[in-house]
Amino acid sequence: MDVINTIGRRKTSVARLYLQSGKGTFNVNERSLEEYFPSEILRLIVQQPLELTSESGKYDIKINVDGGGIKGQAEAIRLAISRALCEISEEFRPALKKEGFLTRDPRMVERKKYGRAKARRRFQFSKR
């Protein structure tokens, strides 16, 4: 099996994933998964697709992720892993789709408008 290359996005985070058969090592920006994501919940989010398809420990995964916050990065990685698993075997697709791991979350930060303090927030009104 050669290297599978996929991409995942969430808000402003972009995760580029390189997956190949191996012992199950995770490298996120040249660091281990535990080192990059200190929170157990974020590590769980990243590993959800592998746990669902019972493929954890079978592949070496190298990820380059940048932009956004740590939660957005974790969800971008989850999407990239799900897409890579679908490339490996089409049997995984229905289970991953049912859980919503193949859906790119389109929600982004709304842009600031002129004449407003933020996107929708108005400047404070002064009667006098």
| pLDDT tens digits for range 4-54 | 999 999 999 999 999 999 998 999 999 999 999 999 999 999 999 999 999
DSSP, collapsed to helix, strand or coil, labels residue 4 as strand
Is pLDDT of 1 > 80?
no
* Three-state secondary structure string covering 99-127: HCCCCCCCCCCCCCCCCCCCCCCCCCCCC
pLDDT at 79: 96
